[in-house]
Amino acid sequence: MSTVSAQFDSLFLDQSLRIDYVHSGTDTTEWYALEALIREPYWGGSKLNLVDTFMFGNYYVEVFDKEENLIYSRGYSSLFAEWQTTNEAKILSRNFFETVLIPFPKKKVKVVISSRNRNGVFLPQFSLNINPKDYFIKPAPKKEMLVHDVLISNKPEKAVDIVILPDGYREEEMDKFRADCEKFREDLFRFEPFASNKQHFNIRAVLAPSKESGIAIPAKDFWPETAISSSFYTFDSERYCMTYDHKTLRDLAGQVPYDQIYILANTEKYGGGGIFNFYCLSGSSNRLFAEIIVHEFGHGFAGLGDEYYDSSTAYNDFYNLETEPWEPNITTLVNFEKKWQHLIPAETPIPTPDEPQWDNQTGVFEGGGYSAKGIFRPSRDCLMHTFKGKVFCAACSEAIQKMINFYID
């Protein structure tokens, strides 16, 4: 099987093919069922870097032409993968709606979705032969909604395109949403390496009003009717605020070219979440707004893992300690030479003592990935650990920069 680096225009239209599917299973099983094929009017991704070079994420989508050449691939993660590590997944099965987006092919293709097993190996789980002339491919729903340009720097294929979606903002609160989007822009680019790369980002906001204001808090029996149905207590973790309504999310995002989705939830309550190449979400009125958005965007955009380990997350054995995690900023030392070893001075001990003398230095500090033992992080503190230092460590900064470069080349 060979990989080709053919020109985008010979393979694809400047549009997207959205593959909607249902992802179901338990803690140890999974299966897929096609929901719909949808033609979206924009392609926001690179037209040069069609084949993924990172191999990040719990899932991997590949597109092959009729000669079995790989013409497109991307890694991603999902809520389903996280749910599989919860206690609930041990006793029942659940459905999750998911989507993959690929450039719209000019000719027949085969799409393969693979899942990463506990040993870190991708195994094919679902395949689909697609004829782009199939009349069952539906056009994307047109939404009569305004779009607010928050920052426009370049063509979509030469920029990181973020779409911001509102949840829990009524029609009369759209001015607040616009202001929150402006704050998002200002705060994101306060932090390096985003600050030095502002010229490589586009940010657009879709003004989608909700019928009611606020975000669901199940433990308080508060269930406002909102555009995207975001809710705290995802997986029964109070601060984990996410949405299961991925279809509506994608319908709204598809009104503009996009690479990354960020949901601003109209709430003062602390919380949010971010999943690699899936979506990010956080409250818009919390005092830690700036730190939260860069932390969650670190997850969603660059695939960064959480470096904290004293959390109240609902996960069980999230990482296999005998396998190297795919996230670039945590390690089990199984295959550390592929991580940030090149950033560590020769005189630094590995593991590195978690003591003040090693503040602001790159090393290998035990504790991360929701585990106090067996998983290591690059620095004593980082925005992926706590918000005290208000900076990304060297390993996280390098990972973010590499991802920016991939999008803009």
Let me know how long the chain is.
409
Out of 79, 106, 139, a domain closes at 139
Domain boundaries, position 111 = 8-139
According to the model, what pLDDT value does residue 317 have? Answer: 78
Instruction: Give the CATH number of the domain where residue 180 resides.
Output: 3.40.390.10
In the chain, how many domains are there? 2
- With respect to residue 186, please indicate whether it lies within any of the assigned structural domains: yes
Instruction: Give the CATH number of the domain where residue 134 resides.
Output: 2.60.40.3250
d(CA 40, CA 156): 15
According to the model, what pLDDT value does residue 5 have? Answer: 45
In this structure, are 120 and 190 located in the same domain? no
d(CA 403, CA 48): 14
- Give me the mean pLDDT over the 290-310 stretch: 96
- With respect to residue 362, please indicate whether it lies within any of the assigned structural domains: no
- With respect to residue 209, please indicate whether it lies within any of the assigned structural domains: yes
**Average pLDDT taken over every residue of the chain:** 96
CA 172-176-178 angle, to 5 degrees, is: 110
In this structure, are 278 and 157 located in the same domain? yes
d(CA 405, CA 397): 12
According to the model, what pLDDT value does residue 409 have? Answer: 86
Find out whether 39 and 136 touch, Cβ atoms under 8 Å: no
Res 2 pLDDT > 60: no
According to the model, what pLDDT value does residue 16 have? Answer: 99
**pTM summary value:** 0.96
Res 6 pLDDT > 70: no
**Residue with tokens 């996410």, as numbered in its chain:** 242
Res 309 pLDDT > 90: no
DSSP string, 19-86: EEEEEEE-SS-EEEEEEEEEEES---S-SS--S-SS--SSEEEEEE-TT--EEEEEEE--HHHHHTTS
State pLDDT tens for residues 126-164. Answer: 999 999 999 999 999 888 899 999 999 999 999 999 999
According to the model, what pLDDT value does residue 312 have? Answer: 58
Instruction: Check residue 383 and report its DSSP letter.
Output: T
SS (H, E, C) 186-237: HHHCCCCCCHHHHHHEEEEEECCCCCCCCCEEHHHCECCCCCCCCECCHHHC
In this structure, are 115 and 204 located in the same domain? no
